[in-house]
Structure 1
Amino acid sequence: MTDEMIVRPGGPADAKTILRLLDDATAWLVAWGRTGQWGATPASEDPRRVVQADVWATGGGLWLAVVGDRPVGALVVGAATDYVPAATEPELYVNLLVTDRAYAGRGVGGRLLAHAADLARARGLPLLRVDCHAGDDGALVRWYERQGFTATEPFTVERPGRNPWPGQVLARRL
């Protein structure tokens, strides 16, 4: 399947694609009772997430995995978010990785992470980091570990009026 897939740069017109992928992933998580990661509200109905998708689409770090003419995954790379512990060396940070659930198990996420590693190497950066939801049963952390990342710092994002969000930073040396 990954042979049929290309990875192309994204742009301003792809904000709706990001929202579609997030909405589909959120619906899948909700169906499995896993609302801790992104909640239960579709991203396209959350004004904050709509703005975030626009920023990602116009920021120069968006890449899309495409099969035929259908985007099946999105990757955003850039600087680390302010809620994670700072890196002690130059890095490239994965700000978003989301895949089309209809293509689950076909290597979309792994292909996008390999692309992120290639981007970091091309920039002479020795480190690729990502953070993810560390709640529920820890399955997402284990998935990143299977992709060659090592769990480093756990962290918690306090959210007024809602439960804290448990996160895990993972790193991959290049």
Structure 2
Amino acid sequence: MIIEPARLTDLPCLLRFRSDAAKWLAALGTDQWSTPFPADHIAASVQAGEVFLIRASEGAEPAATVTLDHKTDPELWDLWTPEERAEPALYVHKLTVDRRYAGRDLGGRILDWAGDRAARQGARWLRLDAWTTNTRLHKYYVQQGFEHLRTTTDPDEVSGWIAQRPARRVQHGFDDRTFAHRSSGQ
């Protein structure tokens, strides 16, 4: 499998990933991602080189996507302690696997790639947040080696379950094209 930077021309695919995931999650009984994410926010992340696509082979339709950056969601800033915010970390956002690739541990491999990338960039932690009421997702992340730190009690914050695991170099098995080809946003 290949992992590469997303381009602005991939925006319709990225939006489809989000809407398809919302439909699947709704069938599971959660309203996670039921509100459409603004396309301009995704486009800005693409232009910043923070969005990645995973393909089974050269030219194949994307199998998954992930956003990886150096910042937590602004609404969750206060959930991280000042000491935690001072530590170097990369944050996983919008990890989505096409249902055709479900059950193959693709999400786990993407998290391993993200942790490897974080370690190579000198980060101590790989961090993420999850929908507060999605306990199935919480269990998945704990099984992937994340330690739950805390959950917000703010009823208006829907994605306030935060966790981290040490960043470490690992074999993830991807043909990693993310360092060789910096996204130009095209």
TM-score category (smaller protein)? 0.7 to 0.9
Instruction: Give the TM-score of the pair, scaled to structure 1.
Output: 0.82
- Deviation of 1:115 after TM superposition, in Å, equals 1.2
- Relative distance call for 1:54 and 1:121 in structure 2 (3 A) is same
Query: In 2, Cα distance between the equivalents of 1:158 and 1:52?
Result: 24
1:165 aligns with 2:158: yes
Which position in structure 1 is the counterpart of 2:138? Answer: 141
In structure 2, what is the Cα distance between the partners aligned to 1:121 and 1:101? 29
- CA shift for structure 1 position 9: 1.6
TM-score normalised per structure 2: 0.77
Structure 2, gaps ≥5 residues long:
168-186
One-letter code aligned to 1:71? P
Which structure ranks higher in relative contact order (CA pairs < 8 Å, sequence separation ≥ 6)? 2
Structure 1 residue 93: Cα displacement? 0.8
Output the CA distance in 1 between the equivalents of 2:25 and 2:122.
36
Runs of 4+ that moved beyond 3 A: 156-159
- The answer to whether structure 1 residue 83 and structure 2 residue 82 are counterparts is no
Across the aligned residues of Structure 1 and Structure 2, the Cα RMSD in angstroms comes to 1.8
Q: Which amino acid aligns with 2:65?
A: A
Cα deviation digits, residues 100-126 of structure 1 (max 9, x gap): 112111122112111111111111111
1:23 aligned partner: 19
Figure out how many residues of one structure are paired with residues of the other and give that number: 158
Q: 1:157 to 1:10 in 2, by over 3 A?
A: farther
Structure 1's unaligned 5+ residue stretches are none
User: Which has more strand, going by share of residues?
Assistant: 1
Q: 2:104 maps to what in 1? A: 106
Cα shift at 1:52 = 2.0
